[in-house]
C-alpha cells in the first residue's frame, strides 16, 4: 500500500507538471480537456489511496498487531494439529524414539552449504516417499525454525539400501531468509513474547501491553494443550517408520511462552497477577492430567519467583492474586505470605 500510494502521488505530480507545457500552447488560451480530466481523476485516486494509507498505519497499533499474531498462531495450530479426541492409535513418541535408537547405522548424511537460511517447511510426504524407495529412514538434523549455516547437517539417512538423491532431499526442505508461520507454531509465540519483554524493558515500562500479550499467549496455549502434539515421526502405508523430525513438547511451548516474561516481569505486580491467572486457567482447562501437572509445576516456579522478587510483603501478596486484567479485579485470593 505504501509503494502504490507513493507511485500514485508521484505520477499525479509528474503528469500535472508536464501538462503545464500544453497550457495556452500557440496562444490558444485553453487547457487540454483530456489532460484536465485525467489530472482530476488522478487527484481523486491519490486522495483515496492516502486515506487507505492512513487506515493501514492505524492498523499498526499494538492491539491490532497482537491480534494479527494471535490469528496467525491459531491458523497454524488449526492446520497442523488434531484435537486430542481425534488422535489415532499411532505409536507414541516414546515408542518412536525407541524405534529411532534401533535404526542402525547412518548410511548417508546431507549437509547444507550456502548463506544462512531458515528451515521454513518440510515436505513430509516427499521425504517419506524418498525413504521408502531406499528402504531406509530419514532423521532430520534440524527442525522447522532452525537457521542453517555453512556445513550444518540437514538430515541423516539410516539403513538405506542405496544413496538417496540429494537434490530431491534438499528440495523437500524449504529454506527462507527468515522464519515463517507455515509450519512453525512457535514463531507467533516467539514474536508475542518479544513484544511483551520489550514492553517490560526499563526504556518503555508498559506492563499493560505485556498483559495484552499474555491474553493471546494463553489462548494459543489452550489450543495447543487440547491438541495432539506427538507428531515427530511419519510412517509409510505399511506402517514402517520413514521419517523422524524434531517437534516441541508441551513443556517446550509452556517455557517459550512464559519463561522470559516471568524473568523480565518479576518486579511487575500487574504482569505476575495476569500470568498466574493464565496458568491457573490453563491447568483447569487442559484435558490431559500430565500437561495440567506440568502447568501446576510451572505455577510453583512462578510463586517462587514472586517470593524472591524485590517486592515488599504486601506487593507479593497482591502479585499472587489471580487477575485477568493484571490490576483490575482479583477473582481468587492466594494464601498470605
**Alpha-carbon torsion (48, 51, 55, 60), positive or negative:** positive
| Cα end-to-end distance, the chain, whole Å | 55
How many C-beta neighbours within 10 Å does residue 197 have? 17
At residue 330, the pLDDT reads: 63
What is the band of 54 on the pLDDT scale with cuts at 50, 70, 90? confident
Contact 327, 270 (CB under 8 A): yes
Higher pLDDT, 27 or 330: 27
pTM above 0.85, yes or no: no
Cβ neighbors of 26 (< 8 A, separation 6 or more) are none
pLDDT in tens, 55-95: 888 777 899 899 999 999 999 999 999 887 654 444 444 44
Residue 258 corresponds to which cell in the numbers above?
512464559
| Dist CA 144 CA 65 (whole Å) | 23
Cβ(308)–Cβ(265) below 8 Å: no
3-state secondary structure of 170: helix
For residue 270, which of 315, 204, 221 has the smallest C-alpha distance?
315
- pLDDT above 60 for 136: yes
Q: Tell me the per-residue pLDDT of 227-282, one tens digit each, with 9 for 90 and over.
A: 988 668 888 998 889 999 999 999 999 999 999 999 999 999 999 999 999 999 99
Q: What is the pLDDT of residue 113?
A: 95
Q: Three-state SS for 231?
A: coil
Categorize the per-residue pLDDT at 2 as very low, low, confident or very high, splitting at 50, 70 and 90.
confident
% of the chain at pLDDT higher than 70: 92
Question: What whole-number distance in Å separates Cα of residue 242 and Cα of residue 140?
Answer: 11
Amino acid at each position: 500500500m505504501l509503494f502504490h500510494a507513493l507511485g500514485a502521488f508521484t505520477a499525479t505530480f509528474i503528469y500535472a507538471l508536464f501538462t503545464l507545457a500544453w497550457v495556452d500552447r500557440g496562444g490558444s488560451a485553453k487547457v487540454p480537456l483530456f489532460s484536465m480530466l485525467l489530472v482530476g481523476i488522478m487527484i481523486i485516486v491519490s486522495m483515496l489511496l492516502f486515506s487507505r494509507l492512513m487506515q493501514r498505519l492505524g492498523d499498526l497499533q499494538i492491539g491490532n498487531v497482537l491480534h494479527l499474531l494471535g490469528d496467525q498462531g491459531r491458523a497454524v495450530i488449526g492446520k497442523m494439529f488434531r484435537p486430542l479426541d481425534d488422535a489415532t492409535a499411532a505409536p507414541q513418541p516414546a515408542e518412536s524414539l525407541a524405534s529411532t535408537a534401533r535404526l542402525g547405522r547412518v548410511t548417508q548424511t546431507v549437509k547444507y552449504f550456502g548463506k544462512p537460511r531458515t528451515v521454513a517447511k518440510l515436505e513430509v510426504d516427499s521425504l517419506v516417499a524418498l525413504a521408502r524407495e531406499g528402504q531406509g529412514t530419514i532423521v532430520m538434523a534440524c527442525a522447522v525454525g532452525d537457521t542453517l549455516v555453512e556445513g550444518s547437517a540437514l538430515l541423516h539417512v539410516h539403513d538405506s539400501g542405496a544413496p538417496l538423491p540429494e537434490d530431491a532431499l534438499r528440495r523437500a526442505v524449504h529454506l527462507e531468509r527468515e522464519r515463517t508461520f507455515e509450519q512453525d507454531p512457535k514463531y507467533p509465540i516467539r514474536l508475542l513474547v518479544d513484544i511483551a519483554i520489550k514492553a517490560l524493558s526499563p526504556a518503555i515500562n508498559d506492563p499493560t501491553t505485556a498483559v495484552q500479550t499474555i491474553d493471546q499467549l494463553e489462548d494459543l496455549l489452550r489450543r495447543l494443550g487440547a491438541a495432539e502434539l506427538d507428531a515427530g515421526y511419519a510412517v509409510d502405508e505399511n506402517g514402517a517408520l520413514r521419517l523422524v523430525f524434531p517437534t516441541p513438547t508441551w513443556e517446550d511451548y509452556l517455557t517459550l511462552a512464559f519463561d522470559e516474561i516471568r524473568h523480565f516481569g518479576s518486579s511487575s505486580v500487574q504482569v505476575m497477577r495476569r500470568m498466574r491467572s493464565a496458568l491457573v486457567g490453563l491447568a483447569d482447562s487442559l484435558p490431559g492430567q500430565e500437561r495440567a501437572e506440568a502447568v501446576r509445576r510451572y505455577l510453583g516456579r512462578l510463586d517462587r519467583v514472586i517470593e524472591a522478587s524485590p517486592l515488599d510483603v504486601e506487593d507479593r501478596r497482591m502479585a499472587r492474586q489471580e487477575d485477568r486484567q493484571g490490576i483490575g479485579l482479583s477473582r481468587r485470593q492466594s494464601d498470605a505470605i
